[in-house]
Amino acid sequence: MSNRDVIYQIIHKLLEEQGRQDIGITDESFIQDEDLGFDSLTVAEFSANLEQQFGRDPYTQGQYPARVRDLLDFYA
């Protein structure tokens, strides 16, 4: 499974937990703004999931990706 697939899978899981599984995800989707709408608690959970899957995440390294593409670039 590619890094992109893993990231999308995590996002889908978080959206599903919020009952928002109908939201479409693209590489250009904003994480916290109008597209995915993650609040600070969801971002913290997202960060923990990324850390678990990849052994590091941008948030604990002081980076705050705005779009899904930023995450893909971080893990490239």
Residue 1 has pLDDT above 90, yes or no: no
Question: What's the structural domain count of the chain?
Answer: 1
Rounded to the nearest 5°, which phi and psi values hold at 42? Answer: -65, -40
Residue 11 has pLDDT above 90, yes or no: yes
Residue with tokens 């899981």: 13
CATH number at residue 67: 1.10.1200.10
Q: Which of 76, 74, 66 is closest to 28 using CA atoms?
A: 66
Q: What is the pLDDT of residues 26-63, one digit of tens each?
A: 999 999 988 999 999 999 999 999 999 999 999 989 99
Instruction: Provide the whole-model pTM.
Output: 0.92
Torsion of CA 52, 54, 58, 64, to 10 degrees: -70
Q: How many CB atoms lie within 10 A of CB 47?
A: 14
